[in-house]
Structure 1
Amino acid sequence: MMNMRSLLTLPVFLALIRGTKGQNPTVLLRPNFPQVYVGDDVTLICNREGGSKPTIWYRDGKVQESYQDYTMLLTAVTPENNGSYKCVQDNQKSDPFTLIVLELEPHAQLSPSVGGAVMTKGDGRNLVLQTDDDLKDWACYVLRGVRTFSLGLDINKEMKRAVIFAELKEAERATFWCRNRKTQHRSNAVTLKMTELMVMLVPPAAPVLQGEPVALRCVVWGGPKLEKVVFYKNLKEIISSSKGTYDINNATQDDNGKYSCHATYRYTHISAGAAEKEGDSDLQELKVIGGPAAAVISGSAKSLQCSCPRCPKICTSCHWYHTLSNDPQSHRRLPENGMSVTPEEEGEYSCRFDCGNGFSRLSDRYSYKAQPAEFGGLLYILVGGAALIILLCGTVWMLKRRKQGGSDIQESKQGKDKDMLISLNFEQREYF
C-alpha cells in the first residue's frame, strides 16, 4: 500500500518521463573543441533522448539536403562553414549552435611519423606531438564514432617531442588530438580512415593547402610490383600509368573531389611467376583549402627577418624555430621573440607569428650552412699571422748574423795585431 509521500512523488516522476520524451534535440560538437581551427574535421550530433534518427539539418535557416543522418560530418572546415546550425527530429527543433572557425593554426603540431590518412583494418601508426611548452602537461585523445577515449603519451625529453600510437579499433574513421591540461591549448586534429580492401588510395593526413603540391598514392597491401595504375576523380578516369602516385604540383579548389584508383599487380617478390591480380580502392575525399596566413622569412646568413603581411593586427610577437638538416622532427623553438635573428647553428630556420588563440602558418625554411667567406677571412688571418711570425724570425736571425759578423771582424783584427807584435819582437831580438 502506497503511503502519502509515494502518492505525492508519483506525479512528479510521470511528469519527468513525459518531459524527457518530448525534449527538444540539442546540437553537440564532437570533438568538443573550445576553438575550431581551419582544417579540422568535426562532427555535429543531433542529440535527443528517445528521438528518431531521421534528421533535417539547417544552416542559417537553409536546409542542408546532403545531410539526413543524426550526425553531420564536416571535413577540413574553413570560415565558409561558419554559421548557425539547427536540427529537427520528430518535428522537434533544436536551439541554434554557432560554429566559428578560426583562420589560425593551433598551438601544437600532431603528425604521422610515416604514411597518410588511410590504414588497413587492424593496422596502427605513431603520431608525433611537438609543442613549444613542457610536454608533461599534455594529454591526448581519440574520437571513434561519437565516443571519446584517452590515449597514452610516450614523452621523449631529449628530443622534446611525444608519441602516441594511433589505431582505429573497429571504427571506420577516428580523429586524434592532444590538449594542454593547464592552458587548454590544443594541437591540430589528425583523422585516419580504415579500408578493408587490398588496394588503397592514400591522401595525406594533413589538410591540403592551396598552392602546395600534393601526392595521391595508390598502394597495394603487401607491397607487390605495380603493373598498371588507373586514377579516377569523381569516378572518371584522369590518368593511367605504371607509377603508383598521382602528383598535383599546384593544388587549387578545382582539384576538390573524390578520388580512387584501380591497380594491376603481381607479388613477384614471393614468386617470379606470380599471377597478375587487380583491384579497386575506396573513394577518398580531397579538399583543398586556403589555410591561415603564412609568415615570410627573408634576409641573409648574417640576419634573418620575419614578416606576415596577411596576418591580423593582433599577431604581434614572432616565434623562431630551428630544425636539424638530418632530422626533420627536431623542431626546436629559439628564445628570440623579435622580428630578426642571427643564425648560429647549421640547419633550417623558420618563423611564425603568435596571434593569441593560435598562430600564423610557418614560413618556408631557410637553410643555413657555414659560410665560405667567413672561413676565407679566418684563413687570411692565419696566413697573415704566420707571415708576421716568419718576418720576425727572419729579422731576429739577421740581427744575430750581423752581431756574429762584427765579432768575427773584431777577432780577426785582434789576431792580425797580435801577429804583427810577435813579428816586431822577433825582429828586435835579431837586431840586438
Structure 2
Amino acid sequence: MALIQCFFTFLILLSSTRCQAPTEAPLQASITVSMGDMRVFSGEDLRTSCSVPDDPSPYWRYKWFQNGDDIGFYNSSEAWIKASGKYSCQAEKDLKKWPYLVNTLPSQPLHLHVDRGWALMQIPTTPSIIEDTMILTCRIRDGPVATEVRFYKNDAEIQCDKSQVLVFSNVTLQDAGVYWCRASWMEKNLLHSAQSLPVPVTVLDKLETPQLVLVSGRVIAGKLVRIRCETRLNVKAEGLQIEYYFMKNHSRLAPASSSDKYTIWQIRKEDAGVYTCKAKVRLLNVERWSNELELKVY
C-alpha cells in the first residue's frame, strides 16, 4: 500500500514539475515570395515559402491559410498561388520529450494579387522609406510595347509618356496614395487600351511619430503611474538606437534613456500636467515629438 502511495505521489510531483516549468516564447513562422511578385497576372508563376527563422530545423510541417481558411499543402514548405487573397502559414514539429509537439505562431499575412485584366500596377514589395528611390511599373499582359502610358495618383494624372515606369528618386511621405495606370499598345494594326486596378502605395518615415499613451489605469493619488512613448524605427542598420526624452509642461523630467517607459511610483497632485515625449536617433540625425497627454490626478 505504501508503495502505491509513493508511486502516485511521484506522478503528482512530476505533473506539477511539468506545469511549473518555464516555457519559452513561441516561435513565429515567416512567409515570403520565393518566385514571382506580390502582384502578378493570372497564368504567371507565383510561389510562396514558409520557414521558421529562429529554428531552421528540417523537421517542420506546414499549414497554409488563405483569408484565414486552411488550404492544405500540409507537408510542403512551399505553396503555388493561383488566386488573390491574404496568405499566411504556420509550422509544427514533433519532439522526443514532453510536450512532444510544438506549434509556431502564424506568420504575418501576405496580401497577394492575381490579376485577370490586361494592365497591372506593380509596386514595391515592401513599403518605401522616405528619401529612398521608389519605382512603380505599369505592366501589360504578354509584354507588348506601349505607345502611351498614363499614371494617376488619387484620380489626378501625374505622368503621360511611353515609359511604363514612374520613378520617385527621393520619395516623401506626401508621395503615398492610391495609384493606377492606363496603357495603350498596338497589336495587329489595332490600338488596344487597358486600365489597371488602383492600388494603395505606402511610404514610411525613418522614425514614426511617437504616441504617448497611459499604460496604467486611472490616475489616482498614491498609485503607480506609467506612460509609454510608442514609436518604431523603420531603418535597419547596425548601431541605431532610439533615445527617449520625457517632458512635463515642456520641462525635461529625466536624462535620455533607452527605455520607452516613464514611471511615477506614487503620483501626487503636483504631478498633474501635460506630458510629451521625444524619440531621437543620433546616427540618422532624426527626432520626432509625440502628442500631448494630460494627466489629471484624482
TM bucket (normalised to shorter chain) is: 0.5 to 0.7
SS for the counterpart of 2:79 is strand
**Over 6 Å off, 4+ runs:** none
Identify the structure with the greater helix proportion.
1
Alignment-mate amino acid for residue 195 of structure 2: D
SS for the counterpart of 1:260 is strand
Cα RMSD between the aligned structures?
3.4
Tell me the distance in 2 between the aligned counterparts of 1:255 and 1:151.
39
TM-score (norm 1): 0.37
Aligned in 2, Cα 1:281/1:125: closer, same or farther, shift over 3 Å? same
Tell me the distance in 2 between the aligned counterparts of 1:231 and 1:187.
34
Matched, 1:283 2:198: yes
Aligned residues: 186
Residue 264 of structure 2 corresponds to: none
Residue 239 of structure 1 corresponds to: 159
* CA contact 1:198–1:221 (8 Å) conserved in 2: yes
Aligned in 2, Cα 1:223/1:204: closer, same or farther, shift over 3 Å? same
Residue 104 of structure 2 corresponds to: 184
Show the 5 A alignment for 1:124-203.
Answer: 124-130=45-51, 131-133=53-55, 134-144=57-67, 147-152=69-74, 154=76, 162-168=77-83, 173-181=84-92, 182=102, 184-203=104-123
Alignment-mate amino acid for residue 128 of structure 1: S
Show the 5 A alignment for 1:378-417.
Answer: none
Deviation at 1:194, TM superposition (A): 3.4
Alignment-mate amino acid for residue 281 of structure 1: S
* CA contact 1:226–1:242 (8 Å) conserved in 2: yes
Alignment-mate amino acid for residue 141 of structure 1: W
- The structure whose RCO (Cα within 8 Å, separation 6+) is larger is 2
Residue 5 of structure 2 corresponds to: none
* CA contact 2:36–2:47 (8 Å) conserved in 1: no
Residue 275 of structure 2 corresponds to: none
Aligned in 2, Cα 1:142/1:250: closer, same or farther, shift over 3 Å? farther
Aligned in 2, Cα 1:119/1:233: closer, same or farther, shift over 3 Å? same
* CA contact 1:224–1:265 (8 Å) conserved in 2: yes
Matched, 1:228 2:148: yes
* CA contact 2:42–2:82 (8 Å) conserved in 1: no
Tell me the distance in 2 between the aligned counterparts of 1:123 and 1:288.
28
Between Structure 1 and Structure 2, whose CA radius of gyration is higher? 1
Aligned in 2, Cα 1:219/1:188: closer, same or farther, shift over 3 Å? same
Show the 5 A alignment for 1:16-415.
Answer: 109-121=30-42, 123-130=44-51, 131-133=53-55, 134-144=57-67, 147-152=69-74, 154=76, 162-168=77-83, 173-181=84-92, 182=102, 184-267=104-187, 274-290=189-205, 292-297=233-238, 307-310=239-242
Aligned in 2, Cα 1:239/1:180: closer, same or farther, shift over 3 Å? same
Deviation at 1:186, TM superposition (A): 4.5
Aligned in 2, Cα 1:167/1:196: closer, same or farther, shift over 3 Å? closer
Identify the structure with the greater strand proportion.
2
* CA contact 1:217–1:246 (8 Å) conserved in 2: yes
Tell me the distance in 2 between the aligned counterparts of 1:249 and 1:132.
36
Aligned in 2, Cα 1:215/1:295: closer, same or farther, shift over 3 Å? closer
Alignment-mate amino acid for residue 278 of structure 1: S
> Any gaps of 5 or more consecutive residues in structure 1?
1-33, 36-105, 155-161, 268-272, 298-306, 315-432
Deviation at 1:198, TM superposition (A): 0.7
Tell me the distance in 1 between the aligned counterparts of 2:127 and 2:47.
18
Alignment-mate amino acid for residue 284 of structure 1: V
Aligned in 2, Cα 1:115/1:228: closer, same or farther, shift over 3 Å? farther
Deviation at 1:185, TM superposition (A): 4.0
Aligned in 2, Cα 1:136/1:210: closer, same or farther, shift over 3 Å? farther
CA deviation map 1:244-278 (0-9, x unaligned)? 111223333212211111111134xxxxx542311
